[in-house]
Structure 1
Amino acid sequence: MKILLLGGTKDSTNIIRHVKENYDAYILTTTTTEYGARLSHESGSDDTIARPLLKDEIIEIIENENFELLIDATHPFAEHITQTSTSIAKELRMPYIRFERPTTNLENIDTSHIHYVNSFDDAGKLIKNEFDRGNILHLAGANTMRDIVKYVSVDRFYPRILKVESSIAKCQELGIDQSHIIPMKGAASLEENIELMEKYDASVMITKESGDIGGVVEKIQAANEKNVAVVMIQRPKIDELNKNDIVSNLEELDIKLKDFF
């Protein structure tokens, strides 16, 4: 079976390994970066495309190469590509699976430091109005920085990002000093988060509600320990998604895949 996997996440590399170990499948994985493509290849993807794709390009790949299944395992906050992929599946009448990591279970976590917002623009406004002192630790990726620094000084802003060319360029465009850039190497542990907060004298931290795999619990626990405010952007709701197309773990994925193999 030929599978087109929209990836670039830890979820997607887990899916690649699982499918290649358990099914007879060819996988082409699309990511937006060379780094994501390399991880996909190392996980067993037969081929990769390392750049953002337009809707027409994805359709052309599916039709020209006769892909039989579309799996969207992009980040929970990559709402545009999920909207696009659902639209493509409907247009082409092809099988579609959305792998959506579960939300973070905060049942036994002290949430008193968390301030929930619905967008990064709202996060920037909140910090401007309520946290006008101390440094800002941005743990939400390079693509979201602009909405924050519209409202706060870059002198206070410390982003943790992948040290890839495109992310560094975004920092330069925004006037973020190189000494403020924190290189990212996957999800940080509790101890690493505490160390970051101490080193950069953070009074507030920005993160996405990206699930346990994104290290959200460790960020909150570190913030609790260091008395740092947490501004958490809640996941976007994607109305176009059919709940019957969503799986949240590899066991649920297997149930879907067994219909095709």
Structure 2
Amino acid sequence: MRSKVWLIGGTSDSVAIAKILAGNNIPLVISVTTPSARSLYDRGLQIVTGCMNLARMQSFCQQEKFTAVIDASHPYAVEVSQQAIAITTKLNIAYLRYERSNYQGNNSTIANSLITELDSFETLLAGNYLQEETVLLTIGCKTLPQFQSWQDRATLYARVLPKIESITIAQSAGFKSDRTIAIRPPLTPDLEKALWQQWNISLVITKASGKAGGEDIKRQVALDLNIPLIIIARPQITYPQKTTNLSGILDFVKFRALIL
């Protein structure tokens, strides 16, 4: 029996993975959470849209008879990865996590003085990092509600995807229209720099999203403008198997095809 692969997608990384698997004629089903994410993929691919809880994941795996799961979800989609690990372990399905490489960059004295890495949003919000600062949050929309209590202690701006649900979440968290910008990354260095200057930003908060998420550009703009940048580390998850190389994915799937 040939491997049938479930690709947990929705990221730019998963689009590249889908091209590799489809190009090698490997049976593939892709899952994404939103219609806008669905539009990222080539036509003709089998794509399932919508969020899945643990029970739905299990029935999905059993129905499709997957022999391998490739988890290319966002680095901060902790619940998705944890549920996928639990289901694949229970059903004895091979699991591989594709994790985009961490940024390897400037270790200069200036960079070290401007760039702070914290282990979590909880650590950030428990401290006084934001106090009386003009802050640009480039962290996605889901975490914005945690910053609502800071709206009267700092000037907060949010950058979100140009989707109704993202803008709605931002508004509910206290971000008015003049402090919200909806734009789809990646941004060029010049545009990134212009946005920081337009709002007189004194502090930027982002995630450790790697080069694919524009982390390298934000680091460079922080140095160019002498603006502090706080980077929130990726959640720590123990994966059964993980790779940071696209070539490792094809090797993994072909190995599964040989032994099944």
Instruction: Give the TM-score normalised by the residue count of structure 1.
Output: 0.90
Aligned counterparts of 1:155 and 1:111: Cα–Cα separation in 2? 24
CA contact 1:28–1:45 (8 Å) conserved in 2: no
Aligned counterparts of 2:213 and 2:153: Cα–Cα separation in 1? 25
CA contact 2:151–2:174 (8 Å) conserved in 1: no
- Which of 236, 243, 249 is matched with 1:247 structurally? 243
Superposed CA offset, 1:172-227 (max 9, x none): 21221112211222222221211111011100101001111111011011011112
Percent identity reads: 25
**Residue number in structure 2 paired with 1:120:** 121
Shift of 1:135: 1.7
Aligned counterparts of 2:229 and 2:177: Cα–Cα separation in 1? 24
CA contact 1:162–1:183 (8 Å) conserved in 2: yes
**Which deviates the most, 111-120 or 140-149?**
111-120
Aligned counterparts of 1:65 and 1:257: Cα–Cα separation in 2? 16
Superposed CA offset, 1:155-180 (max 9, x none): 72111111212111102212211122
SS of the equivalent of 1:143 reads coil
SS of the equivalent of 2:112 reads coil
**Residue number in structure 2 paired with 1:234:** 233
Shift of 1:107: 4.3
Structure 1, gaps ≥5 residues long? none
Structure 2, gaps ≥5 residues long? none
**Residue number in structure 1 paired with 2:253:** 257
Distance change (3 Å), C-alpha of 1:230 and 1:45: farther
CA contact 1:97–1:246 (8 Å) conserved in 2: yes
Instruction: Give the TM-score normalised by the residue count of structure 2.
Output: 0.90
Counterpart residue identity of residue 13, structure 2: D
Over aligned residues, Cα RMSD in angstroms? 1.8
**Residue number in structure 1 paired with 2:6:** 4
Q: Say which structure, 1 or 2, has more relative contact order (CA 8 Å, 6+ apart).
A: 2
Distance change (3 Å), C-alpha of 1:260 and 1:131: closer
Any runs of at least 4 consecutive aligned residues in structure 1 with deviations exceeding 6 A, and if so which? Answer: none
Instruction: Give the count of matched residue pairs.
Output: 253
**Residue number in structure 1 paired with 2:40:** 39
